[in-house]
Every structure is written in structure tokens, then in C-alpha cells.
């Protein structure tokens, strides 16, 4: 059984974890399809239902967005009513939490790269179905949205190259074919564990993108029989449309965690 809160990269086990759920997909598909062409998305991976998510803008402006990073995330009101915020796992990033996070081999490496990329803000948001694993066994999903902002587009490009390489080279990671988004994007999955005490196989999906100086990564987790990449991608489209100014981007209630003093100045 896998813990539903596990990050996409579990360094001890050396696996990438990804996720999504069809019940949420049915609600979010239209929400994510605000704009963009109807290019034919890619096919299935090992029997997974092919992606039909075609919303959003591929390419386009290298937007230099302003902080806070929490503005460029998903709000609870943008999800179905049966969702709630996982408060202990929703927080503003600071330099300590960022440099010691699962993205890096150790804190020293994280601190060095954070300074090199000139990160200026970050935000982690986690949403869960109110019925928790019981709802996931019926087709719902846990959702994690990570947002990282850099002083310049060049810094974000360097960070993107590092992040995407981490995602695609971890053992068990499978690329998922779907329509691109923003200036850079990628999609991966791993099939791992089961949903709670059930025999339903768990699957993690992650869709990540870079728009200008901002990197956003959306991870979902649920049962393999119900899922493909579309939930994560449609949520990513919502955030990208905010960055493009095509959708309102109100800030959520401020959290007390400090941001990144001394970086980007």
C-alpha cells in the first residue's frame, strides 16, 4: 500500500510517483479546456486510456509573473465540492524547505542550485477527497500542486532542465503522451502499490510545465482502473491560463511560512 501524500520522487526507493482519477476528470475536463487547438494527443501507455485533454496554449509568451507563488496554483473552489485542503501539507516554501526537499540529493546541493537559479518563491498545495482512501477506491484522486518562481526566465529554464531530467530518469518512470502546454511541459506516470487496504492498483501521474519564470507541477494519485493523465493536465491548464491573464488569479488565504530572503536580490 502506498501513502497518498508521497512526493513524486521518493529518493529512498528511487522511484517517481505520479497520479489521477476519472471521476475528477469528468468534472475538470471542461474546466481545463479553455483554449488551444484540438491537436491529436498521444496514445496509450501500457493500456492506459489515451489522453483527450487538448485545452490550453502550447508555446506563447515567456511571462515574467510576480510573486506570490500561491497566486499561481489551484484554489479549493476550482475543484469538486467533495474536496478539502490537506492543511498540514499546504504551505509557502522557504529556502530551507526548498533546498531540503525531495528534488535534491541533499540540502547542500539544493541550496547551491537555489542560489544558481535565483528562486524567489514557492508554494505547495495538497487537496484530498473528503472520504479519503474510500473515495479514491471509487475513482477520486489526491491532488498536489507545486509552484516555483524564479527571478528570471533563464533561471527557470535551468531549473526546468534539472527537474525534468530527475523525473524521466528515476527507475520506473514512464513518459505519457499528451498535448504540450506553455513554453515547456512533460508528463510521466508510475504504477505502484495499492489504494488503501484494497487490491486496486495505485497509479501516480504528473504533468509539469514552465511558463516564463514559473514552473508548475501537478501530481494526482488514485486507482489505475480509473485514471489517465488528463486530470493533472487539465489542472495545469487552469494555472497556465492564470499566468497568461486569461483567468482570474486571486491569492488564497496567506500562510505564515516565510519566503526566500536574500535570493533574487
C-alpha cell at 33: 479546456
Cell numbers standing for residue 70? 500561491
pLDDT tens digits, 150-193 = 999 999 999 999 999 999 988 789 999 999 999 999 999 998 88
Distances (CA, A) of 178 to 40, 45, 205, 208: 8, 11, 12, 12
Residue among 247, 242, 243, 196 nearest 223 (CA)? 196
- Among the ranges given (18-27, 57-66, 189-198), the one the predictor scored with the smallest mean pLDDT: 18-27
Give the C-alpha separation, 229 to 30, whole Å: 15
Phi and psi of 262, rounded to 5°?
A: 90, -10
Of 9, 8, 121, which is closest to residue 68 (Cα–Cα)?
121
b (16+ CB within 10 A) / e for 148-186:
bbbbebebbbbbbeebbebbeebebbbebebbbbbbbbb
Q: Which residue has the higher pLDDT, 43 or 99?
A: 99
Q: Which H or E element spans position 84? A: strand 83-85
> pLDDT tens across 197-217, in order?
888 888 999 999 999 999 999
The 3 state secondary structure assigned to 190-236 is EEEEECCCCCCEEEEEEEEEEECCEEEEEEEEEEHHHCCCHHHHHHH
Residue 96: its pLDDT value, please? 87
User: CA-to-CA distance for 35 and 246, rounded, in angstroms?
Assistant: 9
Residue 99 pLDDT = 93
**What's the DSSP call for residue 168?**
H
Range name among 65-79, 183-197, 250-264 with the lowest pLDDT average: 250-264
Amino acid at each position: 500500500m502506498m501513502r497518498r501524500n508521497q512526493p513524486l520522487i521518493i529518493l529512498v526507493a528511487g522511484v517517481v510517483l505520479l497520479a489521477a482519477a476519472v471521476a475528477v476528470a469528468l468534472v475538470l475536463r471542461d474546466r481545463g479546456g479553455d483554449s488551444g487547438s484540438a491537436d491529436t494527443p498521444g496514445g496509450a501507455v501500457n493500456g492506459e486510456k489515451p489522453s483527450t485533454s487538448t485545452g490550453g496554449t502550447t508555446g506563447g509568451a515567456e511571462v515574467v509573473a510576480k510573486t506570490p507563488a500561491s497566486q499561481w496554483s489551484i484554489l479549493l473552489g476550482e475543484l469538486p465540492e467533495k474536496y478539502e485542503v490537506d492543511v498540514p501539507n499546504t504551505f509557502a516554501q522557504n529556502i530551507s524547505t526548498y533546498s531540503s526537499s525531495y528534488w535534491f540529493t541533499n540540502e547542500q546541493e539544493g541550496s547551491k542550485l537555489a542560489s544558481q537559479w535565483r528562486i524567489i518563491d514557492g508554494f505547495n498545495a495538497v487537496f484530498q477527497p473528503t472520504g479519503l482512501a474510500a473515495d479514491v477506491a471509487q475513482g477520486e484522486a489526491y491532488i498536489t500542486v507545486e509552484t516555483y518562481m524564479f527571478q528570471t526566465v533563464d533561471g527557470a529554464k535551468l531549473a526546468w532542465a534539472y527537474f525534468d531530467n530527475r523525473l524521466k530518469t528515476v527507475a520506473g518512470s514512464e513518459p505519457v503522451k499528451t498535448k504540450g502546454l506553455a513554453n515547456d511541459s512533460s508528463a510521466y506516470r508510475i504504477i505502484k502499490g495499492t489504494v488503501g487496504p484494497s487490491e486496486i492498483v495505485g497509479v501516480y501521474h504528473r504533468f509539469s510545465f514552465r511558463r516564463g519564470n514559473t514552473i508548475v507541477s501537478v501530481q494526482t494519485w488514485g486507482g489505475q482502473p480509473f485514471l489517465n493523465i488528463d486530470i493533472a493536465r487539465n489542472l495545469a491548464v487552469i494555472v497556465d491560463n492564470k499566468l497568461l491573464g486569461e483567468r482570474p488569479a486571486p491569492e488564497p488565504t496567506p500562510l505564515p511560512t516565510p519566503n526566500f530572503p536574500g535570493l533574487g536580490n
